[in-house]
Structure 1
Amino acid sequence: MSRPRLRPAARTVAVAVALGAVLLAAGSLTGCTAEDAGSTPARTSTPSPTSTPSPTDAPTTAPTTRAPRHRPPWRGIDASHHQGQIDWTAVAGARLRFAYLKASEGSTFTDPEFAANRAAASAAGLRVGGYHYFSLCTPGAAQAAHFLAVLADAPSRPQPLPPAIDLELAGSCAAPPAADALLGEVRAFLRAVQRGTGQEPVVYLYPDFEDAYGFADDLADHRQWVRSLDGPPSREWWMWQRSATATVPGIDGPADLNVMRRPAR
């Protein structure tokens, strides 16, 4: 904004006196200017000298503190061999930025499309991460070893997204373990995967699993991938699975659509 200009101060007008009186006082007018010759100067007090402000007297502008900026979240999908052949160029063309792909399940199963999907999605410019479908009745360490082996067989560029664990009841064993025992196996899996990849795993808790075991609070020290199809999740999330019936170019049939938080650079 421009500053308003200051108006010049009004001149003080003296009362006119008779010419004769001025002449009588001529001796006292010595040194007056031509402009002052016809008027009696008004009395003014001697102005006190203006002090020179010290450097600290100069006005300063307080530094502006900017709030941390967070870039807009990414949209992406999760997929497995159940989606069939995927046109990853079309997926990337729909402004989707990432894909989480099923890599393994239990201690022996490898998704048959993982390696091909990972290579094609990476080539199309998507960031890719792998997830493991956790078997509730198999030791966590054995599952972690299998997951790590599958990830190592299908490297991606650029840097892969953090690995993820998928905890669900579907396909579980006939007699799932008690909560304490299962939590111990899950934590063993998470520790092994973090050591093997150098990245902290993300935890996905399907709603029926969370209803049965209530692990969200126990695993709150890990980033959460939360499924909530009716609106934003009610708990903290790093990734939000917001739809299971999305239409995505390049994929035949419904797809899972996700939103991922991204920290500022």
Structure 2
Amino acid sequence: MARILVGVKRVIDYAVKIRVKPDKTGVVTDGVKHSMNPFDEIAVEEAVRLKEKKIASEIIAVSCGPAQSQDVIRTALAMGVDKGIHVEVSGKEYETLQPIHVSKILAKIAQNEKCDMVILGKQAIDDDANQTAQMTAAVLDWPQAVFASKIEKGENEITVTREIDGGLETIKCKLPAVISADLRLNEPRYATLPNIMKAKKKPITKTTPKDLGVDVAPRIKIVSVEDPPVRQAGVILPDVDALVAKLKEGGHVP
């Protein structure tokens, strides 16, 4: 049976209105509600379902970030994950932590834990990078099946239905493999109170990028973070001729 690694990221809750810091160095996070990245919830749910089907033997949740990242690991444990690993990254290091760093960390842990499958959310809703799964597969030199909307396990392989621009694509991957979860893969469960209580007794191991031999020196420099421009109010025009004249006036059509 497979051992599954899932990545869980602590992000600003999807319902919170994002505010840019006055100095434009980033967004306001202090005193702001955080939760597990929604796509990571889908990844956790899929891993738990595979365990319930007796396809997986153990699920390990990993989160990279400050001490508060343990909150999302506990949520994953309450959903049915067996154990957690918290990779402590805080302060300036966390502000410049990129997918390339996280992918190297996940790859190292997947090797250390002898995992057969890595399931990640297709992207995080804070940076929307959509890179970590692909980079993790590259670092491990494993097959990748990203944007999965359906996963079926076979003998030493998986069949994955992927959502692509033109519709659906079905591929087969040999295990071990890296999968990223798309929105329609499943509907994540809510953690019940008994499971939340049980999660408090499940183990969370602490480690650091340095312990794993991963250099998290920044590859990028944040120059400025700004609010998107305010959309200007539209105008109602009487007919098509007026519309064409307006477009010509604005230089939108020749």
Same fold (TM over 0.5): no
Of Structure 1 and Structure 2, the greater strand share is in 2
Which protein has greater RCO, CA pairs closer than 8 Å, 6+ apart?
Answer: 2
Question: TM-score w.r.t. structure 1 length?
Answer: 0.27
Structure whose alpha-carbon radius of gyration is higher: 1
